[in-house]
Amino acid sequence: MLLQNKRLFILVSVVILTTSCVALLLYIFPSSGIRRENTIPESPHLETLPPQANSTSEFTSTITNLPLNVTYTQTRNIQDTIAYLIDPNKKGSHYQANYRDDSWQVSQDDDMVSFLVDVPSVKKTFIVYNGTDVSCAPPTEQKEPDWQCKDSLQEGDFE
């Protein structure tokens, strides 16, 4: 009986030492095959509802080609806000919008990030600040000379 316990002890000791050596080697030489990074859904349309939503938003738009560092929640909020700003009285409307390539800018004064989103069907360009605030782009930033966008929201519209 004592001999069997010695063999069992030696077997368990060998297994523990072997796994410890393997763990140490994995720690020293990390695997390059496993990528560790934050991922953002890469859907060009994001037409589905966010998981927490129970119903379709009253206002919505679909934005193609948004930069990958804009989160899913920010994308949904930007889409809904743009559709609302186009016409607050037109509930249930759906608009196709496009991120303007190479419009990503970072302000050197306050590190504020902004980019442009064009909505061809209504001939308006919107500017998005820090992935959260949406407003009409200034006339110099409109995609075409005949495009016009004016912030028509009055104080109290969000109450």
Residue 154: what pLDDT? Answer: 46
Q: Are residues 133 and 65 in the same domain?
A: yes
**Tokens describing residue 139:** 């006339």
| DSSP strands (E only) in the chain | 60-64, 94-99, 105-106, 113-119, 124-129, 133-136
Q: Which residue has the higher pLDDT, 94 or 4?
A: 94
Q: Kindly report the number of other CB atoms within 10 A of residue 7's CB atom.
A: 10
Q: Are residues 72 and 132 in the same domain?
A: yes
Query: Which residues make beta-bridge pairs with 46?
Result: none
Q: Are residues 135 and 76 in the same domain?
A: yes
- Please report where in the chains the tokens 């607050």 appear, as a residue: 88
Among the residue ranges 60-69, 121-130, 137-146, the one predicted with the least confidence is 60-69
Closest CA to 139 of 129, 124, 152: 124
Which structural domain, as residue segments, surrounds residue 21? 1-28
Residue 59: what pLDDT? Answer: 57
**Tokens describing residue 20:** 């410890």
Residues 6+ apart with CB under 8 A from 50: 72, 73, 76
Closest CA to 81 of 103, 100, 97, 69: 97
Q: Region 60-65: what's the mean pLDDT?
A: 73
* Residue 3, domain member (yes or no): yes
pTM of the model: 0.57
Mean pLDDT of all residues in the chain? 75
* Residue 159, domain member (yes or no): no
Q: How would you classify residue 107: left for phi > 0, otherwise alpha for psi between -120 and 50, otherwise beta?
A: beta
* Residue 82, domain member (yes or no): yes
Q: Does the pLDDT value for residue 95 go beyond 60?
A: yes
